[in-house]
């Protein structure tokens, strides 16, 4: 049985519309126009124990709403979900003691106190034995290299240091499931790399199930073998990140450098779709099965000086899934 099971999960938000001005404000006291936003439209997926799965989508696609339903913060409009056998929005104590949620844009730490004070509070909330708490805290602070920062006020820490403390606070009770919502947002390259390394190693050692949302393709490529992509509240892809391009007819990119800019400005549509022109370089998109023949034709008929063949970038494949655009 899957550790996380989602079937037909839906969430619709109700809100009201008001026109600008005092008259409209007075009118809205008695006559409010109700509008509805379907944030999540009946999605289905499951996660097995120990999986680390990327959850991608543009802003407003339904990622955070889904995580909030799976963690019990929001009640769904329809559908079913179980996490470790629990219905999240029933908010049973045993369920809350076995999962964690980390939201990159919201802090669970006391801003004006050292992080260790928040850790102590969490020890009592999660009823952690003091000896076990000390042992776990020591391991996490050593791995994340923050021992020297335990007595520093949270507001005086850098963004990367604060995110490390957020992770520690969420892992003290050794959760079986972790929901990570943009854990590397705003971090520099080095901080992102260190947090990814930590999450990878933690998942490997503890077999913790992780659902990770991120706008950073690097996070997903480094950590997740499987990716779920949601757009406009609907899942549009569930599988390996590297196989996304197979949805677009196994197409390839040919980058050609010409002797002159004049040559690069020729009509090249007979060879394939022209993706870009920049100086003497042109990028064409063609079907995989046509690559050899088109390459031969270009080299025989045009003044090409350099030639490179590559897959469609993963980021572009994802963007096409977001918009429902197919290049076949």
CATH code: domain of residue 309: 3.30.70.100
CATH code: domain of residue 46: 3.40.50.300
* pLDDT value of residue 312: 74
Q: Residues 131, 239: one domain?
A: yes
In a domain, 321, yes or no: no
pLDDT digits (tens, 9 = 90+) for 17-65: 766 777 777 666 667 778 889 999 999 999 999 999 999 888 888 999 9
In a domain, 289, yes or no: yes
* pLDDT value of residue 190: 82
* pLDDT value of residue 328: 42
Average pLDDT of the segment spanning 113-120:
94
Name the pLDDT band for 319 (thresholds 50, 70, 90).
confident
Q: Residues 77, 142: one domain?
A: yes
Please give the Cα distance from 28 to 7 (Å, whole number).
38
Q: Residues 255, 231: one domain?
A: no
pLDDT digits (tens, 9 = 90+) for 191-227: 888 888 899 999 999 999 999 998 778 788 889 989 9
According to DSSP, the residues that pair with 258 across neighbouring strands are 304
Inter-residue contact 31 to 5 (CB < 8 Å): no
* pLDDT value of residue 215: 78
* pLDDT value of residue 26: 66
In the chain, % of residues over pLDDT 70? 91
Q: Exposure pattern of 62-77 as b/e (b: 16+ CB <10 Å)? A: bbbbbbbbbbbbbebb
Please give the Cα distance from 147 to 37 (Å, whole number).
45
* pLDDT value of residue 127: 95
Is 314 a residue whose pLDDT tops 80? no
Furthest CA-CA distance within the chain: 76
Inter-residue contact 172 to 128 (CB < 8 Å): yes
Please give the Cα distance from 27 to 274 (Å, whole number).
54
Q: Which residue in the block uniquely carries the two structure tokens 């499987």? A: 226
Q: Residues 40, 187: one domain?
A: yes
In a domain, 227, yes or no: yes
Average pLDDT of the segment spanning 154-165:
91
Q: Residues 233, 253: one domain?
A: no
Check residue 187 and give left, alpha or beta (phi > 0: left; psi -120 to 50: alpha): beta
Where is pLDDT greater, at 34 or 229?
A: 229
Q: Residues 281, 217: one domain?
A: no
Report pTM: 0.77
* pLDDT value of residue 27: 67
Going across the sheet that includes 52-56, the strands are 99-103, 177-181, 209-213, 52-56, 226-231, 234-240
pLDDT digits (tens, 9 = 90+) for 62-112: 999 999 999 999 999 999 999 999 999 999 999 999 999 998 777 889 999
In whole numbers, what is the pLDDT of the chain averaged over residues? Answer: 88
Last residue of a domain, one of 221, 244, 267: 244
Q: What is the DSSP string of 177-246?
A: EEEEESTTTT--HHHHHHHHHHHHHHHHHH--EEEEE-S-HHHHHHH-SEEEEEETTEEEEEEEGGGGGG
Structural domain of 306 = 249-315
Is 258 a residue whose pLDDT tops 60? yes
Q: Residues 224, 291: one domain?
A: no
Name the pLDDT band for 248 (thresholds 50, 70, 90).
low
Q: Residues 170, 205: one domain?
A: yes
Q: Residues 68, 185: one domain?
A: yes
Last residue of a domain, one of 224, 244, 264: 244
pLDDT digits (tens, 9 = 90+) for 299-308: 888 898 898 9
* pLDDT value of residue 121: 94
Q: What is the dihedral of CA 151, 155, 156, 162, to 10 degrees?
A: 80
Number of domains in the chain: 2
Is 326 a residue whose pLDDT tops 60? no
Please give the Cα distance from 68 to 62 (Å, whole number).
10
Where is pLDDT greater, at 170 or 325?
A: 170
Q: Which residue in the block uniquely carries the two structure tokens 């979900």? A: 81
Cβ atoms within 10 Å, residue 104: 18
DSSP 8-state symbol, 313: P
In a domain, 324, yes or no: no
Q: Residues 156, 259: one domain?
A: no
In the chain, % of residues over pLDDT 90? 51
* pLDDT value of residue 228: 94
Last residue of a domain, one of 227, 244, 261: 244
Q: Residues 198, 111: one domain?
A: yes
Q: Give the ranges where the chain is alpha helix by DSSP (H).
A: 22-28, 63-70, 93-96, 115-125, 130-143, 159-171, 189-206, 217-223, 261-264, 291-301, 314-323
Is 125 a residue whose pLDDT tops 90? yes
In a domain, 322, yes or no: no
């Amino acid at each position: 049985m899957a550790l996380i099971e989602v079937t037909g999960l839906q969430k619709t938000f109700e809100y009201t519309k008001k026109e600008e001005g005092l008259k409209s404000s007075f009118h809205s006291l008695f006559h409010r126009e109700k509008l509805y936003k379907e944030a999540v439209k009946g999605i289905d997926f499951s996660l097995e124990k120990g999986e680390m799965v990327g959850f991608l989508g543009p802003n407003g696609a339904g990622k955070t709403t889904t995580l909030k339903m799976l963690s019990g913060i929001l009640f769904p409009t329809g559908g079913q979900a179980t996490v470790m056998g629990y219905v999240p929005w029933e908010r049973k104590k045993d369920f809350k003691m076995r999962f964690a949620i980390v939201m990159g844009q919201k802090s669970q730490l006391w801003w004006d106190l050292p992080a260790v004070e928040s850790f102590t509070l969490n020890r009592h909330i999660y009823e952690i034995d003091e000896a076990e708490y000390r042992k776990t805290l020591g391991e996490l602070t050593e791995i994340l290299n923050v021992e020297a920062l335990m007595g520093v006020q949270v507001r005086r820490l850098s963004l990367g240091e604060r995110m490390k403390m957020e992770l520690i606070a969420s892992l003290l009770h050794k959760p079986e499931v972790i929901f990570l919502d943009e854990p590397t947002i705003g971090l520099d390259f080095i901080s992102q790399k260190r947090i990814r390394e930590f999450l990878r190693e933690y998942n490997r050692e503890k077999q913790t199930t992780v659902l990770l949302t991120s706008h950073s393709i690097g996070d997903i490529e480094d950590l997740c073998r499987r990716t779920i992509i949601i757009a406009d509240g609907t899942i549009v892809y569930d599988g390996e990140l590297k196989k996304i391009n197979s949805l677009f007819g196994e197409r390839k990119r040919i980058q050609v450098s010409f002797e002159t800019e004049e040559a690069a400005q020729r009509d090249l549509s007979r060879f394939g779709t022209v993706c870009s022109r920049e100086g003497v370089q042109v990028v064409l998109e063609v079907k995989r099965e046509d690559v050899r023949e088109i390459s031969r034709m270009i080299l025989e008929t045009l003044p090409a000086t350099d030639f490179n063949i590559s897959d469609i970038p993963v980021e572009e494949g994802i963007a096409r899934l977001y918009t429902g655009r197919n290049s076949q």
